[in-house]
């Protein structure tokens, strides 16, 4: 198949984005070529701008545009609690709940021996350093409730508890609004084990 | 939720791409911020380049980087047959088969009264002009085999047949390699009606 060089090149670059396959790249290309000039311009500028403006927060490894990230730079946060997450996007999910007012620490991944990710590859050493330097009373482990997330949480709990801090973990159980009938067995078993007294 | 301005802006622009929702935009942003500098640069440049370099072929409305598109500019093509498609991406699909060596004409959509797309909104007038000016013997109608595509093909057949040209339509039937058991009734019925003598 013959295609103009600029089109081939654009499709190649669009397909490099995660979650964008050949069909999606075609649709995006069609949108770029048929929408007004400013759409392509604005998209390209936003991509360059975010890459230029954003670095990792030196304190918690969240994305930051100022010296510190928006959370670390917020004087209203509870400095006594650090919530440990795998990636910056997990911070967005937790912030959307409005249920947490402490600080964060981004690990930059989870322990995954199958893919060669060991504790030394994550931001764990400087989490321990923060716990010594800052006035922290609680560490909330908020990695995903999957195999790698649980492994990482167990490792961190074993490492942090000897420091005399309270270590907590996100609760697992039935999704709010969900139905018993459709819950998987593991989730249902977990919600029974973790049953609350009313 | 508080987010750095550059991140909010980038997510907004990424979500404007078709097929990219909030979760995909987050994944793409994460990829942009964690991959090496050149990835973001190359993506942004490819977007600007394709928008700058590509226009519509004045003859067939396919995407073109030169004066004419790659098909119209190819001296080896069969000038006697024009394949009518809804969008430029349909040309790519047909070219990949290697089964067609004629020219194309892109309608820029299909007749869809529900969305207010009428024949005058499509590149039909200049298809008719081409049929008068060029030495064409066959028009192959290659719109999708769905309601709008069939409506458009019927309309074009009624318009073009009086000009004394052969008008053909892509065959519908069972997908090659498919199984009777899993075919929908309409496709199976069509494959019976259009059965071939062996």
pLDDT in tens, B74-99: 999 999 999 999 999 889 888 888 88
The stretch B39-63 carries a mean pLDDT of 94
Tokens of B94: 């047909």
Helices A125-133 and A147-160, packing angle to 10 deg:
40
Is any Cβ of chain B less than 8 angstroms from the Cβ of A45?
A: yes
Distance of CA A111 to the CA centre of its chain: 14
Distance CA B48, CA B167 (A): 40
The stretch B21-30 carries a mean pLDDT of 92
The stretch B47-67 carries a mean pLDDT of 94
Average model confidence (pLDDT) for chain A? Answer: 90
**Above 80 in pLDDT, residue B7?**
yes
The stretch A126-142 carries a mean pLDDT of 94
- Cross-chain residue pair A10–B50, CB shorter than 8 Å: yes
Is any Cβ of chain A less than 8 angstroms from the Cβ of B79?
A: no
Beta strand A55-56 with A63-64 is antiparallel
The stretch B38-56 carries a mean pLDDT of 93
SS3 of B70, please? coil
The stretch A127-135 carries a mean pLDDT of 95
| pLDDT level of residue A174 (50, 70, 90 thresholds) | confident
Contacts of A155 (CB under 8 A, 6+ apart): A111, A119
| pLDDT level of residue B197 (50, 70, 90 thresholds) | low
- A residues 115-144 lying closer than 8 A (beta carbon) to B: none
Distance CA B20, CA B23 (A): 8
**Above 80 in pLDDT, residue A120?**
yes
Average model confidence (pLDDT) for chain B? Answer: 90
- A residues 17-36 lying closer than 8 A (beta carbon) to B: 17-20, 24, 26-33
Highest mean pLDDT among A125-134, A187-196, B137-146: A125-134
pLDDT score recorded for residue B164: 92
For A8, A32, A76, A104, B46, the CA distances from B52, given in Å and listed in that order, are 14, 11, 47, 43, 10
For residues B98, B104, B106 and B107, what is the CA-based torsion angle, rounded to 10 degrees? -120
**Above 70 in pLDDT, residue A198?**
no
* Partner residue opposite B10 with nearest CB, options A3, A18, A50: A50
- Cross-chain residue pair B95–A2, CB shorter than 8 Å: yes
Task: Say if CB B33 and CB A50 are below 8 A apart.
Answer: yes
Residue with more model confidence, A63 or A191: A63
Question: What DSSP designation does A79 have?
Answer: E
Residue with more model confidence, B30 or A3: B30
pLDDT score recorded for residue A93: 85
Query: Which residues in chain B touch residue A46, judged by CB atoms under 8 angstroms apart?
Result: 9-10, 12-14
Cβ atoms < 10 Å from Cβ of A104 = 26
Percent of chain B with pLDDT over 90: 71
Closest CA–CA distance from residue A192 to any residue of chain B (Å): 31
CB pairs under 8 A between A and B: 171
* Partner residue opposite B42 with nearest CB, options A13, A30, A45: A13
Distance CA B136, CA B128 (A): 11
- Cross-chain residue pair B40–A47, CB shorter than 8 Å: yes
Task: Say if CB B49 and CB A29 are below 8 A apart.
Answer: no
């Amino acid at each position: 198949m013959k295609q103009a060089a600029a089109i081939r090149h654009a499709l190649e670059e669009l397909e490099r984005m995660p979650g964008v396959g050949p069909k999606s790249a075609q649709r995006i290309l069609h949108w770029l070529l048929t929408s007004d000039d400013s759409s392509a311009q604005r998209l390209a500028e936003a991509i360059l701008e975010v890459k230029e403006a954003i670095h990792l927060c030196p304190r918690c490894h969240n994305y930051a545009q100022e010296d510190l990230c928006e959370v670390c730079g917020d004087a209203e946060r509870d400095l006594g609690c650090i919530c440990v997450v795998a990636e910056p996007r997990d911070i967005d999910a937790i912030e959307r709940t409005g249920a947490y007012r402490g600080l964060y620490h981004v690990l930059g991944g989870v322990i995954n021996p199958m893919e060669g990710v060991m504790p030394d590859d994550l931001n764990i050493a400087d989490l321990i350093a923060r716990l010594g330097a800052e006035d922290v009373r609680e560490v909330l482990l908020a990695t995903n409730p999957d195999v790698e997330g649980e492994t990482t949480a167990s490792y961190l709990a074993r490492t942090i508890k000897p420091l005399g801090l309270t270590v907590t973990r996100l609760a697992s159980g039935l999704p709010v609004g969900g139905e018993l009938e459709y819950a998987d067995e593991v989730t249902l078993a977990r919600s029974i084990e973790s049953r609350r007294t009313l």
